[in-house]
């Protein structure tokens, strides 16, 4: 796989982007995480999340100007979360558990901070946590003078004392009545810079003429500081309140006073100073500091509006129960739209960004377990995720690319696609294929390409369609029984796809470059991708154009229509299908619409590589409506029938078989019968259309397979042909075991990479099969 | 992995070609170029090895899959 492409895929998934509230908070408090904990009653856990990033939790919980609430997406459904009030409720309930462990440095540096506002104290906290020795100088008699003018009902003095106490216990020294001025002298800035490794000027936002001449001032009387980093004209001295970029106005006012903004100024400055003390770049990789907009996609309309909770006692704020109720209003914001829609994505417990990374890691493993193999092969490649994702990320594309890479490197697990590829080889073999012009024509105007599934599932329909096409199209309608290459494509086998492509092209040219009409949506998609020069068309659009055969109107209850996933974007065919259904008098109901259809599990060979996932996809689909379903792909129909869902094929109504039959009740013929039907169809066509003498191949031995055994074999991907060969060989060679208890005979036969086992009994002059099983490992007795 | 396959639990099956009851014996199991010894029931005369359905769809399948993911 290509690393750049993988990165581009990863970047499309926004699930790991912070939600709006977290992005808007300059300190990026994980409020989504807090809300989940508060709603669960875990206020201590919520407080721990808060205090992890908030330096002065008691103070800020009271005075924060909460830009998060303005951003909260709940605003669109009842009202923004009362985030500040919830944070306060947490602080009130859990502040006592606050514990902080500063780093221990072998050689702590010393930092002087001038000014004890929220910025200065935040910087003091951050630098002390990094293990530095911090001294704060304040001109006033008490620290946080400005905050003491707040209404005590809003900011109780006890909160100030609590946070100051916290700083002191981190080792921060606060010296009041110490007005620092520029120049030399006992409280001069020169002296401060001499005696410390770094100095931070955090006197509040405004004019600061007192610091001249140690640092240069601009014409407006402010310290001249580099945008972003806050570096001043003195190499050791930095300013806390700085413009973020050169583009911001120089002389004008900074943004309005914002307590959380000031705290963030302090955090930035502490980061700068820490970088300076470590000799690191002051400017590199500082992109995500401060509040910003969120690009997380949230389907707000999925949430019914709920109004905010008002505290019973507004002066006191939320009590425990009120806080839980308010926090429960948080969605919480996540995307995962594709995960909600796709059983396969849901089954692996994550979301595409993580999956892409796991698949990429899997791809790079040289020695060791490739844990993502089954995940890669479980996707149906149905394209629903790309349809839903706000950024069109297609997991199918990712998985197909990974499969090709596995095949290239010889790392594709042998068992995942072995059966499907043997089927592919059978359906492409000389025994099963047929390519002929209509009798009496040297070339074809149109060639009918039924596709393997329809030919195996409903051979009578193939005969009926072909004869109808011949009746309505005068220039010769040829017939081409072959495989389009889809199974090889899904298996990542570029080589086999190319073989199928080349073979098709040869036949198509030989038949006079006819228009191709196919009954299968997957074939159509493959043909269009592999043969851009071939005019390929769906049977349904062609039928809509040439008209339907005469037939009495249908009597049927309303049917819910299921479109094949490979026709997701084929709007012309979808419309033709609906028009034909209507013309036959069917009342058709939509499930989620054709664009949002799901796969039947056959797509991507998911049913072979990860049958449990395929089953879940089908179960969800067939549970969507009580109606009988209407399918127009033979594979979808047979799969739903196998899972017990009554499903008719649209062809059943276009070419009705006989009066009184129940198209939705037709069982799934299964793998063995489908193969058999294909061979018989070919022989029948040769006889009926071309007058050749061909007889149906009779099996080498007639074995009775009871229905329960047959179904068990279908699940195990064992064909009747496999067990017949095993029994025939055992009977011929005499190599059999006997179970005296049951009287059963047991035999084995190795075919290719698989050993087949049978347990059977003689009955009459034949045999009846009791069990069949298989394995891939070889076992040999040591001499 | 080697032990995982061991299922020497003696079976009461009889080899019809040799008219001999199967007995546990040393067997070489191999898949994808890896081989390892296991104990499985086999005919002491002709060496016909028996793999039960339970073994094939249980432990043996797990080992096959583990080897495929290596
Ligand atoms: S709904 Fe919850 S997660 Fe989303 S923005 Fe609001 S508080 Fe944050
Ligand atoms: S099964 Fe379909 S919707 Fe699910 S990941 Fe694969 S392509 Fe996407
Ligand atoms: S829809 Fe899925 S892939 Fe797209 S951004 Fe959302 S979680 Fe990620
Ligand atoms: Zn023997």
Question: Is a pLDDT exceeding 60 seen at residue B8?
Answer: no
Hey, are the CB atoms on B60 and A737 less than 8 Å from each other? no
pLDDT at A570: 97
Are A461 and A651 contacting, i.e. CB atoms less than 8 angstroms apart? yes
Hunting for tokens 């190795």 — which residue is that?
Answer: A750
What are A132-182's pLDDT values in tens digits? 999 999 888 888 877 888 888 889 999 999 999 999 999 999 998 899 988
Residue B7, chain A, CB below 8 Å: the answer is: no
User: Residue A245: which pLDDT band, with cuts at 50, 70 and 90?
Assistant: low
Are B11 and B41 contacting, i.e. CB atoms less than 8 angstroms apart? yes
Q: In whole angstroms, give the CA distance from residue A211 to residue A218.
A: 12
Q: Which of A675, A720, A674 is nearest to A457 (CA)?
A: A674
Q: How far is the CA of A288 from the centre of ligand 3 (A)?
A: 22
Mean pLDDT of A612-626: 97
- Pairs across A and B, CB distance < 8 A: 100
Chain A residues within 8 Å of chain B (Cβ atoms)? 368-371, 373, 413-416, 716, 734-741, 745-746, 748, 755, 757, 759, 771, 773-783
pLDDT at A256: 62
For ligand 2, atom 5: residue with the closest CA: A395
Q: How far is CA A338 from CA A78, A207, A297, A341, A401, in A?
A: 25, 53, 11, 5, 19
Hunting for tokens 């919830």 — which residue is that?
Answer: A86
User: Quick check: helix, strand or coil at residue A719?
Assistant: coil
CATH code of the domain covering residue B34 = 3.10.20
Average predicted confidence (pLDDT) for chain A: 93
Could you give the ipTM of this predicted complex?
Answer: 0.93
What are A713-750's pLDDT values in tens digits? 999 999 999 999 999 999 999 999 999 999 999 999 99
Q: Is residue B37 part of a domain?
A: yes
Query: What is the DSSP track for A94-136?
Result: HGGG--------SS--EEEEE--SHHHHHHHHHHHHTT-EEEE
Mean pLDDT of A543-562: 93
Q: How far is the CA of B14 from the centre of ligand 4 (A)?
A: 8
User: Quick check: helix, strand or coil at residue A552?
Assistant: coil
Hey, are the CB atoms on A782 and B29 less than 8 Å from each other? no
Phi-psi region of A780 (alpha: psi -120 to 50; beta: other; left: phi over 0): beta
Burial A161-191 (b: 16+ CB within 10 A, else e): ebbbebbeebebebeeebebbbeeeeeebeb
User: How far is the alpha carbon of B39 from chain A, nearest alpha carbon, in Å?
Assistant: 9
Hey, are the CB atoms on A740 and B65 less than 8 Å from each other? no
Helix ranges (DSSP H) in A130-156: none
Hey, are the CB atoms on A757 and B53 less than 8 Å from each other? yes
Query: What is the DSSP track for A615-670?
Result: HHHHHHHHTS-SSEEEESSHHHHHHHHHTT--EEEHHHHHS--STT--GGGPPP-H
How many beta carbons lie within 10 A of that of residue A510, not counting itself? 13
Q: Which of A195, A194, A250 is nearest to A217 (CA)?
A: A250
A393 lines ligand 3 (CB under 6 A): yes
Q: Which of A29, A332, A336 to mutate to test the pocket of ligand 1 (most atoms within 8 A of CB)?
A: A332
Hey, are the CB atoms on A780 and B28 less than 8 Å from each other? yes
Residue B23, chain A, CB below 8 Å: the answer is: no
Decide which of 1.10.10.60, 1.10.1060.10, 1.20.120.10, 2.60.120.380 is the CATH code for A18-100+326-333. 1.10.1060.10
Question: Is a pLDDT exceeding 60 seen at residue A255?
Answer: no
Which residues are within 8 A (CB) of A314 and not within 5 positions of it... i.e. 6 or more apart? none
Q: In whole angstroms, give the CA distance from residue A593 to residue A595.
A: 6
Which residues are within 8 A (CB) of A765 and not within 5 positions of it... i.e. 6 or more apart? none
pLDDT at A290: 82
Q: How far is the CA of A298 from the centre of ligand 1 (A)?
A: 10
User: Quick check: helix, strand or coil at residue B37?
Assistant: strand
Cα-trace Rg, chain A: 37
Q: Is residue B3 part of a domain?
A: no
Hunting for tokens 């923004």 — which residue is that?
Answer: A80
Hey, are the CB atoms on A370 and B42 less than 8 Å from each other? no
pLDDT at B1: 42
Are A449 and A469 contacting, i.e. CB atoms less than 8 angstroms apart? no
Question: Is a pLDDT exceeding 60 seen at residue A550?
Answer: yes
User: Residue A225: which pLDDT band, with cuts at 50, 70 and 90?
Assistant: confident
Q: Which of A378, A381, A391 to mutate to test the pocket of ligand 2 (most atoms within 8 A of CB)?
A: A381
Query: What is the DSSP track for A457-520?
Result: H-HHHHHHHHHHHHHH-TT-EEEEE---SHHHHHTT-HHHHHHHHHHHHHHHHHTTS-EEEES-
8-state DSSP, A241: S
Are A711 and A686 contacting, i.e. CB atoms less than 8 angstroms apart? no
Q: Which of A6, A14, A392 to mutate to test the pocket of ligand 3 (most atoms within 8 A of CB)?
A: A14
Q: For A774, which residue in chain B has the nearest alpha carbon? A: B56
Q: Is residue B5 part of a domain?
A: no
Q: In whole angstroms, give the CA distance from residue A512 to residue A443.
A: 5
Are A781 and A764 contacting, i.e. CB atoms less than 8 angstroms apart? no
Q: Is residue B4 part of a domain?
A: no
Residue B63, chain A, CB below 8 Å: the answer is: yes
What are A17-71's pLDDT values in tens digits? 999 999 999 999 999 999 999 999 999 999 999 999 999 999 999 999 999 999 9
- Residues of chain A with C-beta less than 8 angstroms from the C-beta of B16: 734-738, 745
User: Quick check: helix, strand or coil at residue B22?
Assistant: coil
A684, two tokens: 């029948």
Hey, are the CB atoms on A373 and B17 less than 8 Å from each other? no
Structural domain boundaries, residue B15: 10-68
Question: Is a pLDDT exceeding 60 seen at residue A117?
Answer: yes
Question: Is a pLDDT exceeding 90 seen at residue A289?
Answer: no
The beta-carbon neighbor of B48 closest among A369, A371, A737 is A737
Mean pLDDT of A659-681: 91
Helix axes A670-690 and A720-733, enclosed angle (nearest 10): 100
What is the total count of domains within chain B? Answer: 1
User: Residue B5: which pLDDT band, with cuts at 50, 70 and 90?
Assistant: low
Q: In whole angstroms, give the CA distance from residue A169 to residue A690.
A: 98
Phi-psi region of A547 (alpha: psi -120 to 50; beta: other; left: phi over 0): left
The beta-carbon neighbor of A735 closest among B25, B48, B64 is B48
Chain center to CA of A481: 37
Are A217 and A203 contacting, i.e. CB atoms less than 8 angstroms apart? no
Are A352 and A385 contacting, i.e. CB atoms less than 8 angstroms apart? yes
Q: For A414, which residue in chain B has the nearest alpha carbon? A: B68
Q: In whole angstroms, give the CA distance from residue A721 to residue A87.
A: 70
Tell me which residues have their CB closer than 6 angstroms to ligand 2. Answer: A 342, 344-345, 379-385, 395-396, 599
Nearest-atom index, ligand 3, CA of A337: 1
pLDDT at A251: 39
User: Residue A258: which pLDDT band, with cuts at 50, 70 and 90?
Assistant: confident
A384 lines ligand 3 (CB under 6 A): no
pLDDT at A247: 55
Domain A432-547 indexed as CATH 1.20.1740: no
Strand partners, A704: A768
Strand partners, A756: A749, A774
CATH of domain A110-278: 3.50.50.60
Question: Is a pLDDT exceeding 90 seen at residue A701?
Answer: no
Question: Is a pLDDT exceeding 80 seen at residue A558?
Answer: yes
Domain ranges of chain A: 18-100+326-333, 110-278, 337-412, 432-547, 559-668, 703-775
User: Residue A254: which pLDDT band, with cuts at 50, 70 and 90?
Assistant: very low
What are A569-611's pLDDT values in tens digits? 999 999 999 999 999 999 999 999 999 999 998 999 999 999 9
What are A373-411's pLDDT values in tens digits? 999 999 999 999 999 999 999 999 999 999 999 999 999
Q: For A753, which residue in chain B has the nearest alpha carbon? A: B31
User: Residue A284: which pLDDT band, with cuts at 50, 70 and 90?
Assistant: confident
Q: How far is the CA of A81 from the centre of ligand 3 (A)?
A: 24
pLDDT at A244: 60
**Both ends of chain A: CA-CA distance in Å?**
46
Q: Is residue B63 part of a domain?
A: yes
Rounded (5°) CA angle A271-A277-A278: 90
Pairing of strands A434-436, A647-649: unpaired
């Amino acid at each position: 796989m290509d690393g750049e492409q993988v990165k581009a895929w990863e970047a499309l998934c926004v699930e790991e982007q912070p939600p709006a509230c977290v992005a808007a908070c300059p300190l990026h408090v994980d409020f989504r995480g807090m809300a989940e904990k508060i709603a669960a009653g875990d206020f201590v856990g919520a407080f721990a999340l808060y205090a992890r990033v908030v330096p002065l939790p008691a103070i800020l919980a009271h005075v924060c100007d909460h830009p998060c609430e303005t951003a909260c997406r709940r605003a669109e459904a009842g009202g923004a979360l009362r985030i500040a009030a919830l944070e306060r409720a947490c602080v009130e309930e859990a502040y006592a558990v606050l514990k902080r462990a500063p780093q221990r440095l072998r050689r702590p540096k010393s930092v002087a901070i001038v000014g004890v506002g929220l910025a200065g104290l935040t910087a003091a906290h951050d630098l002390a946590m990094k293990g530095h020795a911090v001294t704060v100088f304040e001109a006033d008699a008490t620290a946080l003078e400005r905050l003491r003018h707040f209404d005590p009902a809003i900011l109780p003095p006890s909160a100030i004392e609590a946070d100051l106490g916290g700083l002191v216990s981190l080792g921060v020294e606060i010296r009041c009545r110490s007005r620092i001025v520029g120049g030399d002298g006992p409280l001069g800035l020169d002296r401060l810079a001499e005696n410390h490794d770094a100095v931070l000027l955090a006197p509040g936002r405004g004019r600061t003429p007192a610091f001249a001449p140690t640092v240069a001032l601009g014409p407006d009387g402010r310290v001249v500081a580099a945008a972003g980093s806050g570096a001043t004209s003195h190499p050791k001295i930095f300013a806390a309140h700085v413009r973020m970029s050169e583009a911001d106005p120089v002389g004008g006012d900074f943004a309005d006073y914002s307590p959380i903004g000031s705290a963030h100024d302090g955090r930035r400055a502490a980061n700068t100073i820490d970088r300076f003390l470590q000799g690191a770049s002051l400017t590199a990789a500082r992109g995500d500091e401060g509040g910003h907009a969120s690009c997380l996609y949230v389907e707000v309309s999925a949430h019914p509006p709920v109004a905010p909770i008002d505290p019973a006692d507004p002066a006191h704020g939320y009590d425990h129960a009120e806080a839980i109720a308010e926090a429960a209003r948080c969605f919480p914001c996540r995307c995962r739209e594709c995960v909600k829609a796709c059983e396969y994505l849901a089954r692996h417990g994550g979301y595409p960004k993580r999956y892409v990374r796991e698949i990429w890691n899997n791809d790079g493993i040289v020695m060791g377990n490739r844990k993502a193999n089954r995940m890669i092969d479980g996707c149906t490649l149905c394209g629903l995720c790309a349809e839903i994702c706000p950024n069109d990320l297609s997991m199918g594309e990712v998985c197909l690319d990974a499969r090709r890479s596995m095949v290239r490197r010889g790392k594709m697990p042998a068992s995942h696609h072995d059966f499907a590829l043997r089927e592919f080889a059978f359906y492409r073999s000389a025994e099963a294929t047929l390519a002929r012009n209509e009798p009496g024509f040297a070339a074809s105007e149109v060639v009918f390409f039924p596709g393997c599934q329809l030919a195996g599932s409903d051979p009578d329909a193939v005969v009926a369609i072909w004869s109808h096409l011949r009746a309505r199209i005068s220039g010769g309608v040829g017939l081409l029984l072959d495989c389009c290459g889809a199974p090889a494509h899904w298996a990542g086998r570029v080589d086999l796809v190319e073989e199928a492509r080349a073979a098709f092209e040869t036949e198509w040219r030989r038949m006079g470059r006819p228009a191709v009409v196919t009954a299968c949506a997957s074939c159509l998609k493959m043909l269009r991708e592999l043969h851009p020069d071939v005019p390929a068309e769906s049977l349904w659009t062609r039928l809509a154009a040439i008209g339907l055969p005469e037939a009495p109107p249908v009597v049927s209850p309303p049917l819910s229509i299921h479109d094949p996933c490979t026709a997701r974007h084929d709007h012309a065919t979808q419309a033709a299908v609906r028009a034909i259904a209507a013309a036959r008098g069917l009342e058709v109901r939509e499930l989620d619409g054709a664009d949002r259809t799901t796969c039947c599990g056959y797509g991507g060979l998911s049913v072979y590589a990860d049958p449990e996932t395929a089953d879940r996809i089908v179960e969800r689909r067939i549970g969507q409506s009580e109606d009988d379903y209407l399918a127009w792909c033979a594979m979808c129909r047979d799969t739903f029938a196998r899972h017990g869902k009554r499903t008719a094929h649209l062809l059943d109504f276009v070419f009705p078989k006989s009066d009184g039959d129940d198209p939705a009740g037709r069982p799934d013929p299964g793998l063995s019968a489908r193969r058999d039907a294909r061979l018989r169809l070919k022989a029948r066509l040769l006889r009926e259309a071309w007058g050749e003498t061909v007889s149906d191949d009779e099996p080498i031995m007639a074995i009775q397979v009871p229905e329960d055994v047959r179904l068990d074999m279908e699940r195990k991907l064992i064909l009747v042909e496999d067990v017949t060969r095993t029994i025939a060989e055992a009977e011929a060679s005499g190599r059999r075991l006997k179970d005296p208890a049951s009287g059963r005979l047991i035999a084995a036969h190795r075919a290719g990479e698989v050993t087949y086992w049978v347990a059977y009994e003689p009955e009459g002059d034949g045999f009846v099969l009791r069990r069949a099983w298989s394995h891939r490992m070889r076992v040999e007795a040591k001499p | 992995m080697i032990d995982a396959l061991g299922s020497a639990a003696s079976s009461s099956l009889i080899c019809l070609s040799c008219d001999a009851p199967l007995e546990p014996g040393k067997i070489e199991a191999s898949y994808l170029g890896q081989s390892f010894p296991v104990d499985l029931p086999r005919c002491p005369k002709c060496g016909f090895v028996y793999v039960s359905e339970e073994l094939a769809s249980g432990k043996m399948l797990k080992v096959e899959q583990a080897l495929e993911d290596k």
